Amino acid sequence: MYSISVSSELTTTGSFCKPPISLHRFSFPFLRYPFANIPKRSPATAIHARKRDPRSQPVLKPSIVEDVSMGDEEDDEEEQLLFDDSKDGIDASIEEDDYVKDEYVEAEKTELYVGDGAGGGGIESSPSTILSPHSLHGAERITEAINKPSSTMSTAGQVIRCKAAVAWEAGKPLVIEEVEVAPPQRNEVRVKILYTSLCHTDVYFWEAKGQNPLFPRILGHEAGGIVESVGEGVTDLQPGDHVLPIFTGECKECPHCKSEESNMCDLLRINTDRGSMINDGKSRFSIDGQPIHHFLGTSTFSEYTVVHVGQVAKINPAAPLDKVCVLSCGISTGFGATVNVAKPKKGHSVAIFGLGAVGLAAAEGARFSGASRIIGVDLNASRFEEAKKFGVTEFVNPKDHDKPVQQVIAEMTNGGVDRSVECTGSIQAMISAFECVHDGWGVAVLVGVPSRDDSFKTSPVNFLNERTLKGTFFGNYKPRTDIPKVVEQYMNKGLELEKLEMFITHSVPFSEINKAFEYMLSGQGLRCIIRMEH
Ligand code: NAD
Ligand code: ZN
């Protein structure tokens, strides 16, 4: 029996960075950044930090700190050098013949590229490779009328002292700390976060069970806020703009950004292992001079954060940030995975694996596309009632069956569903989602973030029988170009803000951010909005 082995060995060192398919082990050059290996605080220091900032303290208004520098002055040449180094480092570590570009997996059918490298002629790839997006309809750009304040906020150019929820150690409650947030450098903006929410991806990197541990870190990537100040070279954003920070970026210059098919920006695509800004490899966050790692370039669990301009979507200021903040990750990801990548046709059957916020947004995308049957698959039966509101018509709990869930679905649908979208992060569910699609035309789309060491195994015959396996980050949306338009659609009732509200099951003040983790881990809620309440 032949089998295809798709492993995520690359993610042990390089996260989701290019090149996504590895046929050889090699190490990634990001660790050369001076900030990459911050020593952990000693337990004593950590205790001190907790004591220093009890949650009962009055809200700290942002204050200006003089003469606090986060490092060397920004330097264009240095920036260029770092990028060049990084690319050279990658290329140099891979033999030319074995370098499989992700473009090869972006073809419409049988996406996996058969390499001749280490794997003994088999196929070896990371599930994160399959998350590379494959299609995007030509996007119309939106022109918005945005009201801007006439003056710049007084904190521009200064270090801001504010509250942030710091993850000091894997799996330990976040601690609200007073942090210093340096001014934005070249091509960066500093954003005042008003609302943020918790996505399961934050939880994975906080638990650090199947992911690389990087602490201390400020997590968070689903949020809405207002631009406080902009760095040099930023021309399309200004203080007062309403924005959504996005975990994957759009430089607008690279071949991916210029392609209608890809959102895998060369410069700013998701990188889960980077804990610093790409400009200089340093953090903009510190506590008493100790740098704190960034997360996904967004770090929204902070009253103020610094984000690369390419990871900021400027939206209609009339959009309610406490609701549209969930469009900055989960809801756009799920909805886009269905409408932009799986592309079900009217009357199709669609299976959705995982009925959290991402999966239910994928179900909503199926309903929106006119799917006639939407089969929800989850291990948590309490999800099923909620899922009906999102158009899910049938439910399968793998725990209720002795046979593999893909077989159950094939029997329910006379051979398999037309489309499936996996939104669990479970490798088993990923395999089932692929094997439950109909031969001849079935398309499966992976969305869940796999564990570092996961390996995707299936028979190549499943591909020969003309099933397609795809994957996507952020539902194939280009953050700057498409997300303002998505927000507008919700505003115009095309997709309805009320629908968005249905994803928001909880809301807590920033001081109770750890409750959001409890809700997600216990499977109680979909999205929990964390109110910064400046
Ligand atoms: P969630 O925890 O709210 O929902 C996940 C659901 O999957 C839960 O209801 C859980 O019970 C279910 N589940 C887990 N294992 C399962 C299995 N083996 N079979 C069936 N159901 C199973 O999480 P979420 O915030 O909705 O995120 C879902 C996934 O999407 C996560 O892996 C997250 O990291 C990922 N994600 C990916 C992207 C992307 O761009 N690709 C963006 C956001 C989130
Ligand atoms: Zn997310």
pLDDT in tens, 287-324: 999 999 999 999 999 999 999 999 999 999 999 999 99
Does the pLDDT value for residue 136 go beyond 70? no
Q: Which residues share a beta bridge with 227?
A: 191
Q: Report the Cα 24 to chain-centroid distance in Å.
A: 26
Token code pair at residue 406: 């893909």
Question: DSSP letters of 247-283?
Answer: SS---SSSHHHHSSS----TTTS--TT--S-TTTS--
Ligand 1 mutation pick, 11, 132, 198, 201, max ligand atoms within 8 A of CB: 201
| CA 304 to chain centroid | 19
Burial of 138: CB neighbours in 10 Å, binned 0-12, 13-18, 19+:
exposed
> How far out from the chain centre does Cα 361 lie?
15
Q: Is the pLDDT of residue 428 over 50?
A: yes
Choose the residue to mutate in 207, 265, 271, 424 for probing ligand 1, maximizing ligand atoms within 8 Å of C-beta: 424
Question: Dihedral of the CA atoms 458, 463, 468, 469 (nearest 10)?
Answer: 30
For residue 168 the two structure tokens come to 């000091």
Say what the pTM is.
Answer: 0.78
Residue 522 per-residue DSSP state: T
Is the Cα torsion angle 61, 62, 67, 69 positive or negative in sign? positive
The residue contributing the CA closest to ligand 1 atom 3 is 356
For residues 101-121, give the mean pLDDT.
Answer: 29
User: What is the distance between the terminal CA atoms of the chain, rounded to a whole angstrom?
Assistant: 60
- pLDDT-based confidence at residue 152 (cuts at 50, 70, 90): very low
Stretch 92-115: mean pLDDT:
30
Q: How many CA atoms lie within 13 A of 310 on its CB side?
A: 23
Q: Is the pLDDT of residue 435 over 80?
A: yes
Residues 473-514 have pLDDT tens digits of 999 999 999 999 999 998 887 557 888 999 999 999 999 999
Taking the CB of residue 27, how many other CB atoms lie within 10 A of it?
Answer: 11
* Ligand 1 contact, 447 CB (< 6 A): yes
Considering Cα of 163, then 164, then 170, then 172, what sign does the dihedral take?
Answer: positive
**Share above pLDDT 90 across residues of the chain, in percent, rounded to a whole number:** 69
Calculate mean pLDDT across residues 335-350: 98
| pLDDT band at residue 154 under the 50/70/90 scheme | confident
10 has pLDDT over 70 = no
Contact 62, 162 (CB under 8 A): yes
- Verify whether ligand 1 is closer than 6 Å to residue 211 (CB atom): no
